[in-house]
Each structure stands twice: as structure tokens, then as C-alpha cells.
């Protein structure tokens, strides 16, 4: 078993019309044993940028703390919030810095940029970015997430339809992966509001 699969995870971000959704499962396990069923994988950097970290849970928490620290320094120096593209570059640089002993994480970054244009991207553990215009996935359930998102995604979805789509994709995918699941956590972000919802899924 790869160290990336040790705790299990499922992450997906999807774009809509001037909005985006980012969703994750809630299981924290040690291989096949479930430890917690309310684990938080998605974090708010500021109102328009969210970060999801799949992979080894301890590294995810360490990396998150370092990124929050860097973002606060940026806010103090620049007196503004980071754009999602800038934040993605920061995450990439931080990971590449540690490339000889990497954080075992696969981040998913989602945000609203200039003119409320949604931005999503993912990267590997050493910071090689993968940009997408529709959706990105990460974690142990990524293969089944690709299939579900590919078949369900439509362009220019409104926030409510986007929520339904990303939720159905997540729930149907984690049922096909025994290392992730136990409900879901979904954020739908528009220029004016952030909606957070908890999904109930199969409890096995």
C-alpha cells in the first residue's frame, strides 16, 4: 500500500457559472480500520479560495498550517487577499522546496479570480500543477471520481445544480473505494456567499 493511501481520501473540485464547488469525504482511517468519521480535508484560506488536501493526514495538517502562515504574511505585506493563481503558485513552490523529502499530499485548489472567473487546479506531491477548465480530482477514489465527473459534468451550471452534480459524483465514487467514504463535505462558493453542506453516505 502506498503511503498516499494510508489514511484514504476523496477530493473533487468542479466549476460552474461564476461559481465552483469543492467536496471531500469524511473518513480518516489507518489502512482498513476507520479512526474518525468527521475528518476535515477542505480548508478555507479566505472567502474566495479553498484548499483540499488528500494523502497522508499528518502531512496535510502540517502543510495547511504552513500555507496559512504564508498567506497571513502575504496579507500583512500586500494588504489584500491572494488570488487563486498566486496561491496555487505558493503551494507548488512550497512542495517543490521539499522535493527530496516531500509532503505526502495531493492538493486541490479552487477559487474565484478576477471578474469572478472560477479557477481549479491540482498537483502532485512535488508541486507539478495540473490546471483544468471543468473538474479536478484527488485521493484514493480518484479513478472512480474521474468516471463519475466525466459523465455528469455540464458547462455553466448554476450553484444548486453544481451542488447536486458534485454530491452525486462524490457519493457514487466513494462507494466504489473502500478507503474513503462515510459521508461528504461540500462547499459551493459564489461571488456573494459560501454554502457549506454535510452529506450522509453509506456508513461502511
Is residue 70 classed as helix, strand or coil in its secondary structure?
Answer: helix
DSSP 83: P
The more confident residue out of 63 and 202 is: 63
Contact 23, 187 (CB under 8 A): yes
pLDDT tens-digit series, residues 151-194: 999 999 999 999 999 999 999 999 999 999 999 999 999 999 99
- Orientation angle between helical segments 57-78 and 84-97, nearest 10 degrees: 130
d(CA 203, CA 201) in angstroms, rounded, equals 6
| Residue pLDDT, tens place only, 2-54 | 999 999 999 999 999 999 999 999 999 999 999 999 999 999 999 999 999 99
The yes-or-no verdict on residue 198 having pLDDT over 90 is yes
Please tell me the predicted confidence (pLDDT) of residue 118.
Answer: 96
Is this model's pTM higher than 0.85 or not?
yes
**9 and 24 Cβ atoms separated by less than 8 Å:** yes
80 CB burial (10 A radius; 0-12, 13-18, 19+) = exposed
pLDDT band at 204 (very low <50, low <70, confident <90, very high): confident
pLDDT averaged over the chain?
Answer: 95
d(CA 165, CA 151): 10
- What pLDDT was estimated at residue 203? 84
Mean pLDDT on 56-67: 96
Sequence-separated (6 or more) residues with CB below 8 Å from residue 120: 13, 14, 15, 20, 108, 109, 110, 111, 131, 132, 135, 136
Residue closest to 186 by CA, chosen among 52, 29, 36, 68: 52
The answer to whether 169 and 177 have CB atoms below 8 angstroms apart is: no
Domains of the chain: 3-199 (3.60.20.10)
> Is the pLDDT at 89 greater than 90, yes or no?
yes
Give the pLDDT confidence of 99-139 residue by residue, as tens digits: 999 999 999 999 999 999 999 999 999 999 999 999 999 99
Asked whether residue 1 carries a pLDDT value surpassing 90, the answer given is no
Amino acid at each position: 500500500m502506498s503511503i498516499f493511501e494510508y489514511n484514504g481520501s476523496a477530493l473533487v473540485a468542479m466549476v460552474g457559472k461564476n461559481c465552483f464547488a469543492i467536496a471531500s469525504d469524511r473518513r480518516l482511517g489507518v489502512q482498513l480500520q476507520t479512526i474518525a468519521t468527521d475528518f476535515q480535508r477542505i480548508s478555507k484560506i479566505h472567502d474566495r479560495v479553498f484548499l483540499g488536501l488528500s494523502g497522508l493526514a499528518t502531512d496535510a495538517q502540517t502543510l495547511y498550517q504552513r500555507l496559512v502562515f504564508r498567506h497571513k504574511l502575504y496579507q500583512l505585506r500586500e494588504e489584500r487577499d491572494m488570488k487563486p493563481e498566486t496561491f496555487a503558485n505558493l503551494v507548488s513552490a512550497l512542495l517543490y522546496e521539499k522535493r527530496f523529502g516531500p509532503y505526502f499530499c495531493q492538493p486541490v485548489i479552487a477559487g474565484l479570480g478576477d471578474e469572478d472567473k472560477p479557477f481549479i487546479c491540482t498537483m502532485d506531491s512535488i508541486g507539478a500543477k495540473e490546471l483544468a477548465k471543468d473538474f479536478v480530482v484527488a485521493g484514493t477514489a480518484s479513478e472512480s471520481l474521474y468516471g463519475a465527473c466525466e459523465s455528469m459534468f455540464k458547462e455553466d451550471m448554476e450553484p444548486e445544480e453544481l451542488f447536486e452534480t458534485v454530491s452525486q459524483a462524490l457519493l457514487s465514487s466513494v462507494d466504489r473505494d473502500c478507503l474513503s467514504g462515510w459521508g461528504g463535505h461540500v462547499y459551493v462558493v459564489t461571488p456573494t456567499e459560501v454554502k457549506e453542506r454535510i452529506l450522509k453516505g453509506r456508513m461502511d
